[in-house]
Amino acid sequence: MASARSVFRCTDCGAEQPKWGGRCDACGAWNTLAEEPVGRNAGKADRGNALPSNVPPVRLSDVAESRMERWRTGLPEFDFVLGGGIVPGSVVLVGGEPGIGKSTLLLQCAARLEQAGIATLYVSGEESPDQVRLRADRLTVDAGRVHVLGETRLEAVLHHAQALGSRVVFVDSIQTTYTEELEGAPGNVGQVRDCAARLMRFAKEAGPAVFLVGHVTKGGGIAGPKTLEHIVDTVLYFEGESTLDHRILRAVKNRFGSVDEIGVFEMTGAGLEPVADPAAAFLAGRATGVSGSAVTALMEGTRPMLVEIQALASKSGFGTPQRVATGLDHRRLAVLLAVLERRGGVPFAALDVFVNVTGGVRLLEPSSDLAVTAALLSSVRDRPLPADALFLGEVGLGGEVRPVAGVERRLAEAARQGFGRVFLSARSRGSAAGLDVVAVDGIGDLARRLAA
Ligand code: TYD
Ligand code: MG
Q: What pLDDT digit, counting tens, does each position of 232-245 carry? A: 999 999 988 767 78
Distance between CA atoms of 97 and 76, rounded to whole angstroms?
23
Is 151 contained in some domain?
yes
Pick the residue whose CA is nearest to atom 15 on ligand 1.
99
Does one domain contain both 31 and 83? no
Distance 270 CA to ligand 1 centre (A): 10
Residue 165 has what pLDDT? 95
Quote the ligand 1 centre to 135 CA distance (angstroms).
8
Q: Is the pLDDT confidence value at 42 over 90?
A: no
Q: Is the CB of 267 under 6 A from ligand 1?
A: yes
Same domain, yes or no, for 136 and 117? yes
pLDDT (0 to 100) of residue 16: 80
Are 65 and 109 within 8 A, CB to CB?
no
79 vs 218, more confident: 79
Q: How far apart are the first and last CA of the chain?
A: 70
Does the structure show a pLDDT above 90 at 103? yes
For residue 413, is pLDDT > 80? yes
* Per-residue pLDDT at 448 exceeds 70: yes
Task: Indicate the number of domains in the chain.
Answer: 3
Distance CA 339, CA 398 (A): 7
Q: Is residue 246 part of a domain?
A: yes
In this model, does residue 100 exceed pLDDT 60? Answer: yes
Whether 269 lines ligand 1, by a CB cut-off of 6 Å, is yes
Our answer on whether the CB atom of 109 is closer than 6 Å to any ligand 1 atom is no
Q: Please write the tens of the pLDDT for every residue from 293-327.
A: 999 999 988 889 999 999 999 998 888 899 999 99
User: CA–CA separation, 427 vs 229, rounded Å?
Assistant: 39
Read off the CATH number of the domain in which 226 is found.
3.40.50.300
* List of residues 6+ apart from 395 with CB closer than 8 A: 336, 339, 366, 369, 370, 373, 401, 402, 443
| Ligand 1 neighbourhood includes 359 CB (under 6 angstroms) | no
The pTM of the full predicted model, rounded to 2 decimals, is 0.80
| 29 and 115, same domain (yes or no) | no
Residue 69: predicted pLDDT: 84
Atom of ligand 1 at shortest range from CA of 100: 7
380 in the same domain as 271: no
Query: What's residue 432's pLDDT?
Result: 81
- Same-domain pairing of 230 and 249: yes
In a domain, 47, yes or no: no
pLDDT digits (tens, 9 = 90+) for 254-284: 999 888 888 999 999 999 999 988 888 888 7
Please provide residue 298's backbone torsions phi and psi, each rounded to the nearest 5 degrees: -100, 155
**45 in a structural domain:** no
- The maximal CA–CA distance of the chain, rounded, in angstroms, is 75
Does ligand 1 lie within 6 Å of residue 360's CB atom?
Answer: no
What was the pLDDT predicted at 157?
97
What's the mean per-residue pLDDT of the chain? 88
Centre of ligand 2 to C-alpha 219, Å, is 19
Angle (deg, nearest 10), helices 443-451 and 369-381? 40
Is there a single domain that holds both residue 270 and residue 318? no
For residue 190, the CA-to-ligand 2 centroid distance in Å is 22
How does residue 219 score in pLDDT terms, banded at 50, 70 and 90? Answer: low
Question: Atom 9 of ligand 1 has which residue's CA nearest to it?
Answer: 101
Say if residue 299 is in the same domain as residue 440: yes
32 alpha-carbon distance from chain centroid: 22
- Of 276, 302, 329, the domain-final residue: 276
Pick the most confident of 30-44, 76-90, 210-224, 233-247: 76-90
Based on the fold, state whether residues 334 and 405 are members of the same structural domain.
Answer: yes
Please check whether residues 19 and 115 belong to one and the same domain.
no
Shared-domain flag, residues 298 and 444: yes
pLDDT at site 81: 95
Work out the pLDDT band at 48, boundaries 50, 70, 90.
very low
**How far does the centroid of ligand 1 lie from the alpha carbon of residue 101, in Å?**
5
Nearest residue by C-alpha to atom 13 in ligand 1: 99
φ/ψ region of 105 (left if φ > 0, alpha if ψ in -120 to 50, else beta) reads alpha
Same domain as 216, residue 106: yes
For residue 331, the SS3 value is helix
**Banded pLDDT at 46 (limits 50, 70, 90):** very low
Amino acid at 109: C
Pocket test for ligand 1, best of 94, 100, 104, 123 (most atoms within 8 A of CB): 104
Task: Let me know if residue 12 belongs to a domain.
Answer: yes
C-beta 215 within 6 A of ligand 1: no
**Which atom of ligand 1 approaches the CA of 238 most closely?**
7
Q: What is residue 47's predicted lDDT score, i.e. its pLDDT?
A: 46
Within a domain: 52:
no
Binding site membership of 272 for ligand 1 (Cβ less than 6 Å): no
Give the domain CATH number at 335.
3.30.230.10
Contact 258, 83 (CB under 8 A): yes
Ligand closest to the CA atom of residue 137: 1
Q: Could you tell me which residue, 219 or 43, shows the higher pLDDT?
A: 219
Residue 132 lies in a domain: yes
The answer as to whether 60 is a domain residue is no
Nearest ligand by distance to the CA of 173 = 2
Is any atom of ligand 1 closer than 6 Å to the C-beta of 393?
no
Nearest atom within ligand 1 for CA of residue 102: 7
Cβ-based neighbours of 393, under 8 Å, separated by 6 or more: 367, 369, 370, 401, 402, 403, 404, 423, 424, 425, 428, 440
Instruction: State residue 306's pLDDT score.
Output: 94
Residues 156 and 257 in one domain: yes
Q: Atom of ligand 1 at shortest distance to CA of 270?
A: 22
Question: Looking at ligand 1, which atom is closest to the CA of residue 105?
Answer: 2
State if residue 276 touches ligand 1 by the CB under 6 angstroms criterion.
no
9 lies in which domain range? 1-39
Residue 379 to residue 450: CA distance in whole angstroms: 12
Q: Residue with the nearest Cα to atom 23 of ligand 1?
A: 271
Digit-coded pLDDT (tens) for 106-123: 999 999 999 999 999 999
* CA 172 to ligand 1: nearest atom: 6
